[in-house]
Chains A and B, each alone.
Chain A
Amino acid sequence: MAMLIDACFSALAARWTDELVITSAGNSSEVWWEITRDTERTFYLEASMSLSTMFAAGIAMGYPDARFWAFIGDGAFAMNTGMLFVERDLALPNLVSVIVANRCYGSTGGVVLPDSRDIDFAAVARAAGVARVFIFDSVAKLEAGFDEAFRSAGPTTVVLELEPPARHYESPPFDGPELKYRFGRALEKRFSRNVLP
């Protein structure tokens, strides 16, 4: 059982309040942009090859009163599972790492992830010592478990079991520096602090 990414992300976006969101390469950036059209509470970190959650952690450490959602594709996750140990050590109570588990390289043609159906991403996170791990394979379950998974304090990993993308999605139409300034200026305004040089 798995969700369509459009329905899943729509459910998340409908419950999104003031969390800061970091997306990963491909589908999470594309679909989140298509649904939200946001560039002030979202930073689209495309093509980092597994570094979106670390990037989010670097921000989250400096904003302990804000909450962060960091999407990472399962292809990226498989490249760098070692980051889980760093996340566990950091134990950031304000960061939710969200594994977009569509079992394929969704941004690069949908080629199947090797041994994809055999990988239990939630078990990998638990084995790394992440205490709060949630897995959702239907929108109904996601809606029912959303508050506990996304709103409770404590370092958290959420696995979203998704179908492979059914269509092509457009990338957010911005150059890197524009995204940096939009996101950075919004942080400055919201938190009344100097962020950008």
Chain B
Amino acid sequence: MVRAPIDAVESRPHLSDDDPGMTAGVDPKETGMKASSETERSGAPSRTATDVARRVADILSDAGADLVASLPDNWIAPMIRHFDADNRFRHVPVNREESAVGLCSGAFFTGAPGVALIGASGFLTCIYAITKINYTYQIPMLFLITMRGDPGDPARFHVSNGLYLRAVMDAIAIPFIDIDRYDDLGKIGAAYRHMSVIGRPYVVGMSRNVLRGNR
């Protein structure tokens, strides 16, 4: 299951959208501007990160979600901004990913389990909370996470996610789907509904390409 993060260790100029000191606003794709030359060359549909965010919000709203707790990874910054402005949702910025687990798990008792929109690194800090709250009490919640460290992620500081994220998810047997295409975003709604059937949390991992609208 563990894949080598081939591209994550490739040589790259120092400054990039993935450098910790850079904001998402540096990259036009991540501010909702039109498609990059990469996309245009590929012939893929011209979508922006904001288009993707809107589609994800529509899917989650249709599925019955109304609470999103978030902590940024710059891949999902546009999506966080969207949820913050979308009045179909109550968006709660948290300052520690485990707090999102607490909040979203409590929301289960309102009839609509919450959604944690966080990065891969933040998800890895939640393992104890997931096993102690969501598994012990069989409380579902949805994690929308970034697949940092996968091939295509140039950030060296996310190599560990590429190496261990899937292995950790396997170790706790948490249901997981990987989305790398815009046309597959509908699976998010299916995951949200199905997690209540199985009484477990569900993880949806979103690739860099799908979040940027490249696929």
CA distance A194 to B129 in the complex (A): 26
The 30 sampled A-B contact pairs (Cβ below 8 Å) are A45-B133, A45-B137, A47-B132, A48-B129, A51-B105, A54-B99, A54-B102, A54-B103, A56-B106, A57-B103, A58-B67, A58-B105, A58-B106, A58-B107, A58-B114, A60-B106, A61-B90, A62-B107, A62-B109, A62-B110, A62-B112, A63-B110, A82-B95, A83-B96, A85-B95, A86-B95, A86-B103, A176-B136, A176-B137, A177-B199
Contact B132 A54 (CB under 8 A): no
The contact string, 1 if C-beta is below 8 Å from chain A, for chain B 164-196, is 000000000000000000000000000000001
CA distance A180 to B138 in the complex (A): 8
Interface size class of chain A, counting residues whose CB lies under 8 Å from the partner chain:
35 or more
CA distance A47 to B101 in the complex (A): 14
Query: Known: A49-B132, A195-B110, A197-B196. Is A55-B138 also a contact (CB below 8 A)?
Result: no
B98 neighbours in A (Cβ, 8 Å) = 49-51, 80
CA distance A45 to B108 in the complex (A): 14
Query: Known: A61-B67, A80-B99. Is A184-B129 also a contact (CB below 8 A)?
Result: no
A89 neighbours in B (Cβ, 8 Å) = 92-93
Within 8 A of B (CB), among A40-92: 43, 45-63, 80, 82-83, 85-86, 89-90
Contact B107 A61 (CB under 8 A): yes
How close is A90's CB to chain B, nearest CB, in angstroms? 7
The contact string, 1 if C-beta is below 8 Å from chain A, for chain B 111-138, is 1101000000000000011001101111
> Does B139 lie at the interface of the complex (its beta carbon under 8 Å from any beta carbon of A)?
yes
How close is A18's CB to chain B, nearest CB, in angstroms? 16
> Does A135 lie at the interface of the complex (its beta carbon under 8 Å from any beta carbon of B)?
no
Contact B96 A176 (CB under 8 A): no
Contact B92 A86 (CB under 8 A): yes
Q: Looking at chain B's contact residues, is the secondary structure mostly helix, strand, loop, or mixed?
A: helix
Q: Which of A49, A63, A90 contacts B128 (CB 8 A)?
A: A49
A58 neighbours in B (Cβ, 8 Å) = 67, 102-110, 114
Contact B137 A177 (CB under 8 A): yes
CA distance A49 to B137 in the complex (A): 15
Closest to A56 in B: B106
> Does B94 lie at the interface of the complex (its beta carbon under 8 Å from any beta carbon of A)?
yes
> Does A189 lie at the interface of the complex (its beta carbon under 8 Å from any beta carbon of B)?
no
Contact B133 A194 (CB under 8 A): no
Closest to A188 in B: B111
> Does B197 lie at the interface of the complex (its beta carbon under 8 Å from any beta carbon of A)?
yes
B103 neighbours in A (Cβ, 8 Å) = 54-55, 57-58, 86
CA distance A183 to B136 in the complex (A): 15
How close is B84's CB to chain A, nearest CB, in angstroms? 12
Q: Which of A51, A180, A187 contacts B102 (CB 8 A)?
A: A51
Beyond contacts A53-B102, A80-B99, A195-B111: 4 other A-B pairs, Cβ-Cβ < 8 A, are: A47-B136, A83-B102, A86-B92, A180-B139
CA distance A46 to B101 in the complex (A): 14
> Does A179 lie at the interface of the complex (its beta carbon under 8 Å from any beta carbon of B)?
yes
CA distance A85 to B95 in the complex (A): 8
Closest to B98 in A: A51
CA distance A55 to B67 in the complex (A): 13
Contact A193 B111 (CB under 8 A): yes
CA distance A51 to B133 in the complex (A): 9
CA distance A21 to B93 in the complex (A): 24
How close is B172's CB to chain A, nearest CB, in angstroms? 16
A49 neighbours in B (Cβ, 8 Å) = 98, 128-129, 132
The contact string, 1 if C-beta is below 8 Å from chain A, for chain B 138-151, is 11000000000000
